[in-house]
A and B are shown apart, each in its own frame.
Chain A
């Protein structure tokens, strides 16, 4: 993924009226487009929103969505919550870690693998999110197909 530049950061701040109370929305909008929040963006946001750097840091650190490292081109999230566990999400996670040769929270070969705690698709569990799209009734074969489809779009 690309890295946000100074000008775009200022544009996003302006879209939210330059209000400090919109910090979570501003960060979310950056993450949705760029995947992560670089250190110099934190500094810039603090300046433009008239907050201390510690304030912005605190908010970035607090929320799971706000990555401070650049993710892979593809983000794969596997639900770890109870309804998915009831349908084998632990086994599915093991399978994913095995075939991708990586652990949850890692980034390897353009893929970031993350846990997620509920996608609200609990009647069609286990659920997986690939690049922002939710998939249900995901068994090992379907998971492999999703990966193939994802790579096919490269």
Chain B
């Protein structure tokens, strides 16, 4: 009898709730019972609420079991796990789970499916097909496809990727760089991590395509240090790709040289800002640069540099494989394609939902998320990380569309959606926004460095009931100054969550718990 394949994710969320223990228990139990299995540590499908999610391959179908603990494993074997036996944890074939199959997986389709460290498995699932196609079609065809796709920067700023690539391609510098921003610091976001852990080769391939298109021979990945498991998976994947000849000089006789260096951050949020990241990559303090010059003209070490987020880059391989028009055919208005929405915080079914733009917040939170984990009503939703506005429950029908969000004073950012129930103390969250800015400010510009500290003080006065109306106006004025005069989004957008609390949840300043304490 052939060996039975069992999949247990090696992915931060799954491991954080016991996947390693489950894998260990499976290996032990298989040995004790003399069962011949092959244990594969795949990435996660993104259904974090079902983790640890184990799968067993039976007659070509992968049968899923959700929320498995190490204590369940003996019982699962007794129930005939190897043949997909009945058990209270059994969810049926993973290819029939509605939460997963109703998504529009363009960028994350290989996550969960493949062994992230196997070049062979990657190639079996269309891996490096797009890079080979790029070599055959030429760089102009790649640049055209990315442009036609309408892809915009998924890190938060939403800048058209095609324009950025063309700008760098048109420079005549001898050395150019690709700098992949994997400093995913926004609370409520984990899509970069999920991709790098589940499909690291997909990122590697897309970075090589970017290098080929713009004429860069070196790519850097700037990975935050809070992701140690990602670091281990990604560095092994880079080494495997290099061993297989997909990185290095003269890749597959194309005449194109490209290699990737993996750098670690050191716990600074502002290093997710592109110019601060470049400074950090140069070994310096992560202090924001003045723009212009744009990184596309003078970036890393003063050379033209494509700075793109992980998800932006990883979306490119399929754009090359399937065509830019196909990607642009999804989504709404100027928001083309898909976004990996991340349901986080107080949510029953949290995880990653890749959907075409146009889906509403309500659909994501209710249909996918199943409402709050606490079962209480939704009070506020923060979209786009710590610099994103708190959106009140009345606005949940807003479609996910960059411009529609701008119209309600919010932003989609990196697609993180953090849900709060009606027990949330919004005054404290407004205070936290200012406090976080004070902690993380790089200190270069005054509105951010000083304004954030003054902001905390003003909010403290409001919470404690001192001249609340006067301070309300003062806080709004401070927000205007920070937004108008800060050098980057750190100080420039911290006012967004603060203003939204003033606008929609002002009564919380009177009822804040600290004030009543």
Contact = CB atoms under 8 A, between A and B. Distances in A.
A132 B346 CA distance: 25
Interface stretch (B11-19, B121-129, B249-257, B394-402): B11-19
Nearest to A16: B283
B187 A135 contact: no
Interface stretch (B80-88, B108-116, B146-154, B415-423): B415-423
Contact of A124 (B13, B284, B301): B13
A20 B351 CA distance: 40
Contact of B346 (A64, A65, A86): A86
A93 interface: no
A119 B17 CA distance: 14
A24 B187 contact: no
A137 B416 CA distance: 18
A154 interface: no
A31 to B, nearest CB: 8
A24 B373 CA distance: 40
Interface stretch (A6-14, A55-63, A68-76, A95-103): A55-63
A122 B342 contact: yes
- Residue of B190, B266, B286, B440 ringed by the most chain A CB atoms within 10 A: B266
Interface string A128-154: 010011111100000000000000000
Interface in B40-82: 48-49, 51
B131 interface: no
A118 to B, nearest CB: 5
Contacts of B282: 21
- Residue of B15, B190, B344 ringed by the most chain A CB atoms within 10 A: B344
B16 A136 contact: yes
Contacts of A25: 263-264, 283
Contacts of A82: 187-188, 345, 382, 386, 418, 429, 432
B225 interface: yes
B225 A122 contact: no
Given A59-B283, A86-B420, A87-B345, A124 B227 contact: no
Interface string B168-204: 0000000000000000111111100100000000000
Contacts of A21: 281-283, 301
B280 A24 contact: yes
Given A24-B266, A65-B267, A134 B15 contact: yes
Contacts of A119: 12, 226
- Residue of A65, A117, A118, A121 ringed by the most chain B CB atoms within 10 A: A118
B418 A23 contact: no
Nearest to B262: A25
B185 A117 contact: yes
A116 interface: yes
A122 B345 contact: yes
Nearest to B344: A122
A65 B228 CA distance: 13
A124 B283 contact: no
B436 interface: yes
A120 B227 contact: yes
B345 A118 contact: no
Interface in B411-446: 416, 418-421, 424, 429, 432, 436, 439-440
A46 interface: no
A43 B392 CA distance: 52
Contacts of B188: 81-83, 122
Given A118-B226, A124-B13, A27 B266 contact: yes
B22 interface: no
A2 interface: no
B184 A120 contact: yes
A21 B301 CA distance: 10
Q: Which 8 A-B pairs have the closest CB atoms?
A: A123-B350, A86-B345, A81-B187, A122-B344, A64-B267, A136-B16, A123-B48, A63-B266
15 contacts: A19-B283, A24-B263, A25-B283, A59-B284, A83-B416, A85-B345, A117-B436, A118-B189, A121-B12, A121-B190, A122-B416, A123-B49, A123-B344, A124-B51, A137-B17
Given A28-B225, A82-B432, 9 more contacts: A24-B263, A59-B285, A83-B416, A86-B420, A86-B421, A123-B342, A123-B347, A123-B350, A124-B48
Interface of A: 19-25, 27-28, 31, 58-59, 62-66, 81-87, 116-125, 127, 129, 132-137
